[in-house]
Every structure is written in C-alpha cells, then in structure tokens.
Amino acid sequence: MTRTLPDPIARDHIDALTVTLSALRKQSSTLGRWGRVLAERLDAGARLLAAGNGGSAAEAQHFTAELVGRFRDDRRPFSALALNAETSSVTAISNDYGYEQVFARQVTAHARPGDVLLLLSTSGRSPNLLRAAEAGHTAGALVWALTGSTPNPLYEAVDEAVALPGSTSSVQEAQLVAVHVLCEAFEAALSEVDAQRRVS
C-alpha cells in the first residue's frame, strides 16, 4: 500500500488559511451582532446592498442570494442586491462616469435611510468601494466592510469592519466563512423575532 505524503503546497495554503480563520474566530461576536442587526432592519423593510471586485464580487453575490433565497431554513425572502451583478448598470456607469463611480451611483439610486451596505475587499483600497462607502453614508445607510489587513482606507471609511490578516486567497476564503456565519446569525435572529410575534 502506497503511503500518501502531504503536498507541501497544499499544506502551506491550508496552514495560511488557518491563521486567517483564527483571526476571524476572534471577531465572531461582531458577525453575530451584525446578523441580528440585519435581521431587525430587513424584517422592518430595509434592504441589503453589497458590492465587491473580483472574488469579493462573487462573495457579495453569494450573500445576497442567500438572503433572497435561503441559507438553511425555509423562510420569507428579503430584499438584497449585489451591485456588481447589475451588469448593464456596471458597464453603463463605468463607461459614462468612470469605474470609480460604478457602485457609488447605484448606492445613491437604491440606498435609503436604515438600509445596510456591505462592502467586501481583500485590500481595502479599491477606489470604487471607497466612493460607495461615501455614498452609503450620504444616503443614511449603515455601512459595513469585510476587508483584509489593516491599516487600509476602507476600514476607516465605514461604520464598522471585520479586517482579516493574510494573503488575498486566504482573506477571500475566510470571507466566505464570514458570509455563512452572517447567514446563520441572521436566520437565528429572525427565528427569535418570528417566535415572539407568535407569542404576542
């Protein structure tokens, strides 16, 4: 029987991710609180707007899909838009106003006081996300970010952020975990709200 030895590249990648996930674990209380806040706001009629570039765009779209659809339990749908998935808007705005405005203009169009804007970035330095944060504040939205290592401009530009150390790939992978934790916390808080309604 052939003995399988660990692949050093795979091992190093997983070891690096473990460091990033350890940092995420230390911020689990923040993610739990965000899930509860999101449940309160969306249950009251607010919406979530999310945006990112590249792999972070995929995570933003993943998160909004879980809210409009479901994560674990069957429940009513909630309003959530991934701004990077609006391809006609993205291309028209970037063509007419420049790529730095591609999310900010959509935030100005869609965000209302009480909404939540979640910005995902591994670097925290993308100009289009910084402009989106400014637009979110102007609209009266609550602005959160999932970012890479600090210091970075996006971390400073939002109301609250979860910043993670590590390479681009490790941060992106941990951000997927963060998205799922948010979904878990959101649905748990929503179940509590619904249970209270049934009692009253």
- Beta-strand relationship, 48-52 and 80-82: parallel
Check: CB of residue 127 under 8 Å from CB of residue 152. no
pLDDT value for 194: 77
Six-digit token string for 91:
């291309």
Q: How many CB atoms lie within 10 A of CB 87?
A: 8
Query: What CA–CA distance (Å, rounded) separates 59 from 82?
Result: 9
Whole-number pLDDT of residue 122: 97
Which residues, including other chains, have CB under 8 Å from residue 75's CB and lie 6 or more apart?
187, 190
Question: Tell me: the pLDDT tens digits for 21-36?
Answer: 999 999 999 999 999 9
Rounded distance between C-alpha atoms, residue 174 and residue 21, angstroms? 6
**Do residues 173 and 23 lie in contact, with contact meaning Cβ atoms separated by under 8 Å?**
no
Residue 3 pLDDT grade (very low, low, confident, very high; cuts 50, 70, 90): low
Residue (of 76, 54, 77) closest to 64 by Cα position? 77
- pLDDT tens across 105-142, in order? 999 999 999 999 999 999 999 999 999 999 999 999 99
Q: What integer is the mean pLDDT of 149-157?
A: 98
* CA dist 168 → 32, 149, 172 (Å): 24, 10, 6
